Structure 1
Amino acid sequence: METILGLDLGTSSIGWALIEGDPLPKKIVDMGVRIFPEGVDRTKGEKSLNQDRRDARSLRRQGCRRMRRKQKLLHALQDAKLLPRKQTELDELMGLSPYQVRAKALDERLSPHELGRALYHLGQRRGFKSNRKTDSDKEDGKVYEGISEIDKGMAEKQCRTIGEYLNSLDPHQARIRGRYTARRHYEQEFDAIFQAQQPHHPKLLNVNNRKRIRSGSRYFCGSLFWASKPKQAANT
């Protein structure tokens, strides 16, 4: 005897019927329909019901990657003898104003650990670099406007780097944190600091350390967020 199962698939339901007969007449053995909620929230413009969960998961992954990059940069600077390994010394060093140290690095000799403090602070910034596959024109417009404001301020104050510019601002009159910046701002400042300090520390700021900290690593300029004091790993 021939048996046929017919299915009618919809966006929020599925209908079915079981038919038997060989060859004729055929009869309906059973049939029915199952209705289930849609996978989108139409009150929010057909937003996927799983989107909030995906967004939260993406933020968690981003946070984990950011923490790993910071740890890798910390260890790279310690291996280069630009940061101390003792947590107490590291905590004391992190108490220095990073903007003052970054501005000072352009004209004055820094101690190796002060230099490491400046580079570690730089390494926590990635800056904006457009990705046309994912970025929207609306979001890009806000970012480019903020970057243009930074460029204009640097030109007016004749600042050579973004660190020197931010150090020149009065925190009681102008916001220092939470600004839109470009990737090139941090890359240019890294090169300027390295060039200014290399004559003072030729053995520490050698080609290998430069490559490891900057161009040869994925963890330089590894974060868009303002970071807290670095935590030492238990075995360092």
Structure 2
Amino acid sequence: MAEPVTVLEAIELTKRFGKNTVVDGVSLKFPEGRLHAILGPNGAGKTTLFNLLTKDYPVDGGEILLRGERVTRLRPHQISRRGVGRSYQITSVLRELTFFENVWLASYRADHAGAPGLWRDFRAHWATAEKTRQVLAELGLEPFTDRKAADVSYGDQRLLEIAVTLATRPEILLLDEPTSGLSQRESERVKQLILSIKGKFTIIMIEHKMNVVMDISDDVTVMNRGKVIASGSPAQISTDAAVRSAYFGL
């Protein structure tokens, strides 16, 4: 059986802030269609790694390959247009807009190379409106169509943020702590939503909640102090001595 195609690869990625090396020679491959979780204690360099992969930060060393093409020097919008979508640790939805408007705006910008939407005419853009409805329906968010983001729970806002990210039609989806700050019930809803799209995208997810990672991941990488200390299946990671030491001091 052929191995899955690597769609995104980090080769010896390094990022420094002054004298501090936050990401230290990280090399990782992300196969197509799999869910790859990145674990690690606070300060491990996980979000900085995401910021390098999406080019929110410039790279100090190493290379990034996207479907075999070197993209290390591209800008964030160029990475996005090549099919890389990203949600953030702190929700970034527009709170005064409805679910429909948030998703519509993301879809419109994706179709028009980042151009701002024409709000007075937004329902006249039939194709964009139809794509918006499809995204909301696929994620089970139709009941929230006309609800403002400011009027729903933080957990529902996290679901909206994933919908906004999917509206850009990515092939690779980076989720930065999607259950951060959520109750157990809300975390379960987000987990089920991610499961519903698993396999449709290549998903790379930073997550602190071990039960979420172990329940839904295909592959797991653990970072500590800017370095990769372990990679493998959830079962392998759960018994790894280096991981237990980094996480639990055992």
TM-score norm. by structure 1 comes to: 0.23
TM-score norm. by structure 2 comes to: 0.22
Which has more strand, going by share of residues?
A: 2
Which has more helix, going by share of residues?
A: 1
Q: Which protein, 1 or 2, shows the higher relative CO under an 8 Å CA cutoff with sep ≥ 6? A: 2
Q: Which has the larger radius of gyration?
A: 1
